[in-house]
């Protein structure tokens, strides 16, 4: 793990640090995300009582739709795509050079209060100053609020009600639907041309990926994440994106996962343990990127690397149709162009 010792991390901390790629293999199978609220999605200004049942099964209620919203950066980016803006964010928002992190999507990070940029960081005082009416985040483990620090969780949750949406134990379409449900309840027009066009593009991309996988059934994909000392090979079924790709017919390397059940840690000397034709590499700023691995001979010697068949993997997707369609198209293109090298 970059700058962190694996032994000192919780499962959530380990995931945040960049090695794991989704939780859920040892938990319950994915469900439908719970009941939808009754929002019409017309985009009309909401008036009167507001309620939303989240993926914990908890129903949040208010006299009117919340306006002062604080959200995990990826959720904030998804809400932005539906036209719902937030006051503050937490989670990987800015890179070391001050630019927007990949998880920020199209969100203007200069127009929101950044409460924390790394794992374990959340400025409670700034949060209180925003007069928050709703906190929204992802959920990789049941009832665990993503990037809300355990040590300050009680103080944070006293200031505003919270909503948690599954980022694991689900698939991409289900996750998008739940983010859309929330956006609609907050007043977004989810029937707008922008949204319906994005949905059509997503469905077209999904059909393309299914066709690509069917046309090249022998192409095997490995899901990887790199740190200085270890290479992590993840089990596809434990994450929303790769589980969905699997449902569309993509063939994945199946590692011998550790006791937690999510991924296998390989030393760089053993990085060639599995044959793969395409390697999908964790694109988060917490993980080493392929250009940083050129000095590792075993990496450079992998058939997929030598063939130029290494592609970025959006490990924590922004769950809107607009952001997920390009992910499907990119993998479809990689498979369409791939040669069998393993």
Measured between alpha carbons, how far is 187 from 51 in angstroms, rounded to an integer?
12
Q: Assign 235 to helix, strand or coil.
A: coil
Statement: residue 21 has pLDDT above 70: no
Q: Which residue has the higher pLDDT, 43 or 70?
A: 70
pLDDT at 40: 37
Which residue bears the tokens 């938990």?
A: 27
Structure tokens at 228: 């200085």
Rounded mean pLDDT of 177-187? 98
Rounded mean pLDDT of 7-35? 42
Q: Where are the beta strands (DSSP E) in 63-161?
A: 69-72, 88-90, 113-116, 134-139
Statement: residue 232 has pLDDT above 90: yes
Measured between alpha carbons, how far is 71 from 222 in angstroms, rounded to an integer?
31
Statement: residue 280 has pLDDT above 80: yes
Confidence of residue 3 (pLDDT cuts 50, 70, 90): very low
Confidence of residue 260 (pLDDT cuts 50, 70, 90): confident
- Tell me: the pLDDT tens digits for 303-316? 999 999 999 999 99
Measured between alpha carbons, how far is 9 from 14 in angstroms, rounded to an integer?
6
Confidence of residue 46 (pLDDT cuts 50, 70, 90): low
Of all helices (H) and strands (E), which one includes residue 336?
Answer: helix 321-337
**Nearest one of 159, 210, 196 to 321, comparing CA atoms:** 196
φ/ψ of 274, rounded to 5, equals: -115, 140
Q: What's the burial of 321, exposed, middle or buried (CB within 10 Å: 0-12/13-18/19+)?
A: buried
Confidence of residue 11 (pLDDT cuts 50, 70, 90): low
């Amino acid at each position: 793990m970059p700058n962190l010792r694996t032994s000192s991390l919780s499962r959530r901390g380990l995931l945040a640090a960049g090695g794991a790629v989704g939780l859920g293999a040892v938990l319950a199978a994915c469900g439908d995300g719970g009941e939808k609220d009754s929002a019409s999605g017309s985009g009309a200004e909401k008036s009167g009582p507001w309620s939303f049942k989240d993926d914990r099964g908890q129903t949040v209620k208010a006299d009117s739709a919340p306006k002062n919203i604080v959200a995990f950066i990826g959720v904030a980016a998804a809400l932005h795509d539906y036209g719902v803006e937030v006051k503050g964010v937490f989670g990987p928002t800015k890179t070391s050079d001050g630019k927007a992190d990949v998880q920020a999507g199209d969100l203007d990070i200069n127009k929101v209060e950044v409460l924390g940029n790394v794992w374990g960081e959340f400025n409670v005082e700034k949060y209180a100053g925003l007069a928050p009416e709703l906190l929204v985040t992802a959920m990789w483990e049941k009832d665990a609020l993503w990037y809300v620090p355990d040590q300050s969780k009680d103080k944070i949750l006293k200031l505003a009600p919270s909503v948690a949406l599954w980022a694991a134990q689900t698939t991409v379409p289900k996750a998008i639907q739940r983010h859309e449900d929330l956006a609609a309840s907050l007043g977004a027009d989810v029937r707008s041309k922008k949204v319906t066009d994005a949905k059509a593009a997503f469905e077209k991309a999904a059909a393309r990926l299914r066709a690509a996988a069917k046309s090249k059934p022998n192409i095997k994909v490995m899901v990887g994440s790199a740190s200085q000392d270890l290479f992590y090979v993840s089990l596809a079924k434990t994450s929303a994106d790769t589980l969905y790709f699997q449902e569309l017919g993509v063939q994945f390397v199946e590692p011998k996962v550790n006791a937690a059940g999510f991924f296998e840690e390989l030393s760089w000397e053993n990085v060639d343990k599995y044959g793969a034709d395409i390697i999908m590499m964790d694109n988060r700023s917490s993980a080493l990127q392929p250009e940083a691995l050129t000095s590792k001979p075993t990496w450079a010697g992998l058939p997929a690397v030598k063939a130029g068949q290494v592609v970025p993997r959006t490990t924590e997707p922004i769950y809107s149709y607009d952001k997920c369609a390009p992910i499907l198209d990119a993998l479809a293109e990689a498979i369409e162009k791939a040669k069998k090298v393993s």
